[in-house]
Chains A and B, each alone.
Chain A
Amino acid sequence: MQSKTKELDPILEVNNLFASIENLPILKGVTISVNPGEIHAIMGRNGCGKSTLSKIIAGHPSYKITKGEIKFTGNNIQSLEPEERAQSGIFLGFQYPIEIPGVSNLEFLRVATNARRKFLNKEELDTFDFEDLVKEKLDLVKMDSAFLSRSINQGFSGGEKKRNEILQMALLEPKIAILDETDSGLDIDALRIVASGIKKISNEQTGIILITHYQRLLDEIQPDYVHVMADGQIIKTGESDLALELEKNGYEWTDNFIKEQ
């Protein structure tokens, strides 16, 4: 498929990627390319490899790449640690954000933001300057500043956890954000808040990959491309109307496609 922004160099290129966990193959030849300003959606049944793909791009140590490559801004990133990938501008919004009791959300956000700023040769922020910045970003996701004084995600509702993920994305200003089922567990109002936050953060330099099961997120954020995953591969790519087709016809056809393969 031809890129809509082909004159730009891709931010992210995943080429024929094979990966496994504990010798169990999960990804079986994934290829995807994201250019600046593009929004891609990846859809598919549970267990088809969507979340695995996102974790592998972010550098999860439990997965092993057996073939293929991942390039970020033209450089192969396979040897980079997760923190090096994050600092250079890869952001993963977790499907199930982790609760970390005892670690202050505010301090965590400050350390993370400063790690990214250091990479960008920007001045690191002290506690006071950071509080000013974070309060400004809180408005994007309509979060109360009380969340900052709590432990990371501890006692947060599902919606609050997802908003906290988008708050982190806003602070880290990534080049590419992979949002893994950011819409799951959200009511209509929370979904709109999260979607609005994502739209405000994204710009012409940012690439976004939305991993989702449902059309409702894509009603709020219209993707440039929709990819359908099955059995560890991208089996079909189309434009936004492909998501509508999936909503209407479901994923049964993907089973037949895999069987025929």
Chain B
Amino acid sequence: MQIIEEIKKNEIFSNPSELQKICLDKLKLKPLPNVKSEYWRLSNKSKFSSFLDHSSKNKECKVNLPYKKAFQNIIRLIIGENNSINLEKENYSIKELKEIEIVDYIKNNISNSDQNDHWSDLLNHCLSSKENILGLNISGNKIPPLEIFSASSPDSFNAKTLILFFEKNSKVDLIQINLGNKNSSLSQSTYLCLKENTSVNHGVVSYGESKSNLLNSLNVIQKTNSEYSLGSLHYKFNYARFEIRINQLNGNAKTNLKGIQITKNNDQIATYTKMQFNGPNGFLDQINKSLADDKSHAVFEGSIIVPKIAQKTDASQLSRNLLLSRHAKIDTKPQLEIIADDVKCKHGATISQLNEEELFYMRSRGLTLAEASKLQLSSYLQEVISSIPISKDRWDLLDKILKEI
């Protein structure tokens, strides 16, 4: 765990920023998360070690995007390469955040929280240089779709940070693409702040290569009457961990989460979600899917927290999982912590295999087993992939994945 050794020996930066200093001090006291805690106990220790087994002295190289060039009406940004953007249009504006705004916001986020829960962010901010932090203030309701790439360089560790403030009444489609290069580790921390009456349709697609690792953290704050929808997909990582923390700050907000993780070979991909309702009339509709093949391991842990102030909360969390191999493993744990007494909350989990009767029905019409399985998987994936903005029309994501599964 070379990075941890460098943190302990204070060998990270010769001239660290204020934020890096704060995080470094915290990590020096407790460099690793508590692997026995609920939040980390299922993390594969040797894979987690391999995530940290790079030097923090980043080798940055230009990101070679494997996707079609952006359409004219899409704003494409690559964290670490072209962070300079200042657009002031008739119907919208996109402006860079000042450094002080970024530091204050992150400091506020990490100072009051459990270090174990925010360890991924602490590590990220400790290692993310100023060039690798993209902060934007976005306003308007006719904003072109935003496409933001984050990538690791081959044989390297890279930390990237994204902070987006959505001003009142703004409405936007946003997609983040995390690309893991071979034998690399990517730490991506994202902060979204949705002010009153905003609507954000967010997609996160994380796609790795051989022996790539990812630690992906997403922190969302929703103010009153905001609506946040997330469609996410994580695929092809030796080790990936997706932490989602959403806070409906004053209630009266709506959250829709749809996610899928696909594991093959010996991969481990985990999703942890924490949904915090801090006011009345909150709404959540969440479905998380895992598809595990070969000897892989998929993990989902979701918690919904409804304190007394969050009366009339309406929340649903469903974990649906598909095991494609007898050697694959899925752990799933949806859970509720409810103190308010006037709420509607439900949760559930299923783990199944491809439905044999469905397969037989299709085969009895002449479809081969491979065709029938592909159609079944396609329908399984479609529900989530169709909720990812922008990507579905441009990348044929579903076809790409089905060819590889």
Contacts and interface: CB of A to CB of B under 8 A. Distances in A.
A binds B: yes
Interface of A: 58-62, 81-83, 85-87, 91-92, 94, 97-98, 100-103, 107-108, 111-112, 115-116, 119, 151, 168, 172
A70 to B, nearest CB: 15
Given A83-B366, A98-B357, 12 more contacts: A58-B364, A82-B360, A83-B363, A98-B358, A100-B376, A102-B380, A103-B379, A111-B366, A112-B366, A112-B367, A115-B368, A119-B366
Contacts of A81: 363, 368-369
Residue of A59, A82, A98, A108 ringed by the most chain B CB atoms within 10 A = A82
Interface in B352-384: 356-358, 360-369, 371-372, 375-376, 378-380, 382-383
Given A61-B360, A62-B356, A82-B360, A102 B382 contact: yes
Contacts of B380: 102
Contacts of A172: 365-366
B57 to A, nearest CB: 47
Nearest to B363: A82
A59 B379 contact: no
A163 to B, nearest CB: 16
Contacts of A103: 375-376, 378-379
B356 to A, nearest CB: 7
A62 B372 CA distance: 17
Interface residues of B, number: 22
B404 to A, nearest CB: 19
A195 to B, nearest CB: 22
Across the A-B interface, give the 7 residue pairs with the lowest CB-CB distance, nearest first: A102-B379, A115-B366, A112-B365, A82-B363, A98-B361, A86-B366, A83-B363
B158 to A, nearest CB: 37
13 contacts: A59-B364, A61-B356, A81-B369, A82-B360, A83-B363, A86-B365, A86-B366, A94-B361, A98-B361, A100-B379, A102-B382, A108-B375, A115-B366
Given A98-B357, A102-B383, A151-B379, A111 B364 contact: no
B366 A100 contact: no
Contacts of B367: 83, 108, 111-112, 115
A103 to B, nearest CB: 5
A248 to B, nearest CB: 35
A108 B365 contact: yes
Contacts of B362: 100, 108, 112
B361 A100 contact: yes
Residue of B356, B361, B364 ringed by the most chain A CB atoms within 10 A = B364
Contacts of A151: 379
B396 to A, nearest CB: 16
Contacts of B382: 102
Contacts of A61: 356, 360
A65 B368 CA distance: 22
Contact of A87 (B357, B366, B383): B366
Nearest to A119: B366
Contacts of B369: 81, 83
Nearest to A101: B379
A81 B364 CA distance: 9
Interface string B134-159: 00000000000000000000000000
A124 to B, nearest CB: 12
Contacts of A116: 366
Nearest to A171: B365
A209 to B, nearest CB: 15
A191 B375 CA distance: 31
B373 to A, nearest CB: 12
Contacts of B372: 83
Given A102-B378, A103-B378, A108-B375, A82 B364 contact: yes
A12 to B, nearest CB: 15
Given A102-B379, A102-B380, A151-B379, A97 B361 contact: yes
B360 A60 contact: yes
A107 B365 CA distance: 12
A102 B289 CA distance: 15
B366 A92 contact: no
A103 B376 CA distance: 7
A59 B364 CA distance: 8
A173 B371 CA distance: 21
Interface in B336-364: 356-358, 360-364
Contacts of B368: 81, 83, 115
B27 to A, nearest CB: 45
Contacts of A92: 364
Contacts of A60: 360
A117 to B, nearest CB: 9
Contacts of B378: 102-103
A81 B372 CA distance: 13
Nearest to A86: B366
A1 to B, nearest CB: 29
A107 B378 CA distance: 12
B363 A86 contact: yes
A168 B366 CA distance: 11
A160 B382 CA distance: 25
Residue of A58, A59, A94, A111 ringed by the most chain B CB atoms within 10 A = A111
Nearest to B361: A98
A168 B364 CA distance: 11
B387 to A, nearest CB: 13
Contacts of B358: 98, 100
A97 B364 CA distance: 11
Contacts of A94: 361, 364
A234 B379 CA distance: 41
Contacts of A168: 365
Nearest to A89: B366
